[in-house]
């Protein structure tokens, strides 16, 4: 059964009154989306004196109209201080009357229901063109003045207004029947402002992730006789994402010979009384042995997750491949250098044959039927200070003699096993 032992370690430390060891976490922005929204505002009725462009009589009320017109997503961003005004278009109106000398003027908009529709019917020669130009100039002044006055009021409401705000003032002359704003216009005198405001806001998607330093330590081992391991068919290539990181030599019987720097090569007799020389010492690195026949063996390697050859990412595979040979020779068994990394037995495909014709202990030789224990440690706090995040036996069965690569675990970027059952792959 797989398990994450970090929580169990912390539970024990908590009982003992020791500090809790936690995987560091950090919040990162995984995605940024900039969205645009155009907000049309209902027509704002102006309250101007004749020939005036000052919006003070109605501008505060118009701010409420603007804020209430925002769609829910824009209101949400406004509440969070993330709504920015990037463009404001204001089309202000004036009536088609200037003074007694001009009389009714030409116009370019007419009232249709509750809308102000453009028209080309108001440019007839019977209407004053000079008065039209004066009215259009007044309307444009009303639009530009309103923009300047509304900016600080929107900022007070929490809208972000940058230096690059696009300001588009426009004027229109509305057909009111040539009525004077002050004296004779009792319904709609063309004093209206049509607004369209363009906003942008930024959405950020945040994700909390575990943080760890680049070192991850992998230990593969066996308790020997106590967990049923007593043989010399336990030499494995250990790989991460298909790249070899080391060799785990867990042999623990007649062929478990290694270099003793004090005494030189070990010499020991095998089960048949023949002297066996020491193995190649190139797999000594990271190997731990109690030097007992049938005893404990383990191998430890450190993964440098910054090594580009490992292609380390969010989902990584830890695999083992048996390096035990399965061919026979004339002697029936012999020692062999496996890939230049050490010695292992080469056995016959005839497990029942007598000595000299094949077989090893009366069994077909090859890899183990179970994977040994695996310990994974990472460095979540300080480089070189390892914390165990996995300590268990994947227990993946394989046919004896199989030379397949076995997937032990899938590891996340911190070396912590992630979901899914392990399986054997070719």
Stated as kind and residue range, the H or E segment containing 346 is strand 343-346
Tell me if 76 sits within 8 A of 82, measured CB to CB.
no
Cα angle at 138 between 134 and 143, to 5 degrees? 150
Match 């989306």 to its residue by tokens. 33
Q: Which long-range contacts (CB under 8 A, 24 or more apart) does 261-270 make?
A: none
Share of the chain above pLDDT 70, in %: 67
Which pLDDT band, with edges at 50, 70 and 90, does 24 fall under?
low
Whether the per-residue pLDDT at 5 is higher than 50: the answer is no
Stated as kind and residue range, the H or E segment containing 138 is helix 129-156
Distance between CA 120 and CA 116 in Å, rounded?
13
CB within 8 Å of 127: residues ≥ 6 apart? 96, 104, 105, 106, 107
Spans of all domains in the chain:
29-206, 212-425
Match 């760890």 to its residue by tokens. 212
Q: What are the beta bridge partners of residue 321?
A: 237, 405
CA of residue 349 relative to chain centroid, distance:
50
pLDDT tens readout for residues 280-320: 444 567 888 887 888 888 999 989 999 999 999 989 999 88
Distance between CA 178 and CA 192 in Å, rounded?
16
Query: What are the Cα distances from residue 309, in Å, to 187, 230, 321?
Result: 80, 35, 19
pLDDT tens readout for residues 28-86: 666 676 778 889 999 998 888 888 899 999 999 999 999 999 999 889 999 988 899 99
Which pLDDT score is estimated for 162? 80
Structure tokens at 258: 């290694």
Which pLDDT score is estimated for 270? 42
Q: Pairing state of beta strands 297-304 and 287-289? A: antiparallel
Whether the per-residue pLDDT at 218 is higher than 90: the answer is yes
Structure tokens at 257: 């010979």
Distance between CA 262 and CA 259 in Å, rounded?
9
Distance between CA 341 and CA 106 in Å, rounded?
99
Which pLDDT score is estimated for 119? 94
- Mean pLDDT, rounded, of the chain: 75
Distance between CA 273 and CA 340 in Å, rounded?
27
The whole-number average pLDDT for the span 122-144 is 93
Highest mean pLDDT among 137-141, 288-292, 316-320, 339-343: 137-141
Which pLDDT score is estimated for 371? 59
Distance between CA 305 and CA 43 in Å, rounded?
62
Strand order across the beta sheet in which 387-392 lies? 287-289, 297-304, 215-222, 373-378, 387-392
Distance between CA 369 and CA 194 in Å, rounded?
80
DSSP string, 1-31: ----THHHHHHHHHHTTPPP---EEEEEEEE
3-state secondary structure 361-394: CCECCCCCCCCCEEEEEECCCCCCCCEEEEEECC
Q: Pairing state of beta strands 192-211 and 287-289? A: unpaired
Q: Which of 24, 386, 76 is nearest to 209 (CA)?
A: 24
């Amino acid at each position: 059964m797989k398990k994450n032992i970090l929580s169990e370690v912390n539970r024990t430390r908590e009982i003992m009154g020791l500090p809790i060891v936690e995987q560091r976490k950090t919040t990162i922005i995984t995605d940024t989306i900039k969205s645009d929204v155009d907000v049309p505002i209902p027509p704002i009725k102006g309250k101007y004196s004749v020939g005036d462009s000052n919006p003070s009589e109605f501008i505060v009320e118009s701010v409420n109209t603007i804020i209430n017109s925002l769609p829910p997503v824009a209101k949400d961003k406004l509440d969070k201080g993330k709504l920015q005004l990037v463009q404001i278009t204001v089309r202000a109106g004036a009536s088609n009357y200037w003074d007694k000398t001009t009389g009714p003027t030409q116009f370019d908009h007419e009232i249709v229901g509750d809308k102000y529709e453009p028209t080309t019917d108001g440019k007839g020669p019977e209407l004053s063109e000079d008065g039209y130009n004066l009215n259009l100039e007044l309307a444009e002044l009303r639009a530009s003045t309103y923009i300047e006055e509304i900016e600080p009021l929107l900022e007070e409401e929490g809208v972000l207004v940058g230096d690059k705000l696009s300001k588009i003032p426009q004027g229109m002359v509305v057909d009111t029947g040539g009525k004077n704003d002050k004296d004779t216009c009792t319904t709609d005198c063309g004093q209206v402002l049509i607004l369209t405001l363009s906003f942008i806001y930024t959405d950020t998607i945040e994700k909390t992730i575990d943080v760890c330093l680049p070192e991850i330590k992998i230990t593969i081992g066996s308790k020997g006789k106590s967990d049923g391991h007593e043989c010399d068919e336990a030499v494995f290539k250990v790989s991460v994402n298909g790249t070899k990181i080391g060799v785990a030599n867990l042999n623990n019987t007649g062929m478990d010979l290694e270099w003793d720097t004090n005494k030189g090569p070990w010499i020991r007799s095998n089960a048949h009384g023949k002297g066996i020389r020491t193995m190649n010492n190139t797999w000594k690195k990271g190997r731990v042995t109690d030097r007992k026949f049938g005893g404990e063996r383990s191998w430890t390697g450190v993964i440098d997750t910054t090594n580009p050859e490992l292609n380390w990412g969010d989902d990584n595979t830890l695999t083992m491949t048996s390096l035990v040979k399965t061919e026979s020779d004339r002697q029936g068994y012999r020692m062999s250098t496996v890939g230049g990394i050490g010695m292992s037995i080469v056995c016959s495909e005839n497990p029942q044959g007598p000595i000299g014709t094949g077989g090893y202990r009366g069994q077909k030789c090859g890899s183990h039927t179970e994977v040994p224990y695996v310990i994974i440690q990472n460095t979540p706090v300080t480089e070189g200070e390892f914390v165990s995040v996995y300590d268990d036996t994947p227990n993946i069965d394989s046919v004896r003699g199989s030379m397949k690569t076995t997937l032990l675990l899938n590891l996340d970027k911190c070396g912590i096993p992630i979901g899914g059952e392990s399986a054997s792959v070719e």
